[in-house]
Amino acid sequence: MTALRRFLVVQLLLLWQGGFLFYTACVVPIGTRVLGSGAAQGAITARVTDVLNVIGAVALAGLALDLIFARDPARRRTVYRWVAWGVALACQVGLFYLHLRLESYMDEERRFVMVLPPFYPTHRVYLWTSTVQWAACLLLTWGTLRAWHAEAGGQK
């Protein structure tokens, strides 16, 4: 059961964090080059972030289960992992909220920004929140791998 739990955690992290990194590093720049930074790119991003946010919530649930069932001998690392998880969760809640705010500034079909003044500052906060979450997930992933190694009889 431990191997299956770990396999699922890895798959969730790959889908969520790998998807986020690929989208931000490749799809957005290419989409902007091909479509421009206007409505078409924004319409795609609005829908992709719908999916990324749901995947993030599912991944955080899976990571919480791993934290609950893990038998890491290092209590300090367990606390560190829970803190990183908590930061990622707080960011996820914030992303859901900010996403709704951003959508409220767009037309019903989420193709055009209708209320410009608050959109861009809110979008900037969304991007920074995503960045903080990504950093928390890097720390959480590192701590998780170390914990699994220690559980398997490796070094603390």
Structural domains counted in the chain: 1
156, part of any domain: no
What's residue 54's pLDDT? 98
User: Other CB atoms closer than 10 Å to residue 4's CB: what's the count?
Assistant: 8
Residues spanned by the domain of 24 = 2-151
75, part of any domain: yes
In the numeric block, the tokens 């590093």 are attached to 25
In the numeric block, the tokens 């799809």 are attached to 27
Per-residue pLDDT tens, the chain, 156 aa: give them: 899 999 999 999 999 999 999 999 999 999 989 988 877 888 899 999 999 999 999 999 999 999 999 989 999 999 999 999 999 999 999 999 999 999 999 999 888 889 989 999 999 999 999 999 999 999 999 999 999 999 988 765
Q: Which residues contact 126 (CB under 8 A, 6 or more apart)?
A: 95, 98, 99, 102
74, part of any domain: yes
What's residue 155's pLDDT? 67
61, part of any domain: yes
140, part of any domain: yes
- pTM for this predicted structure: 0.93
What's residue 156's pLDDT? 59
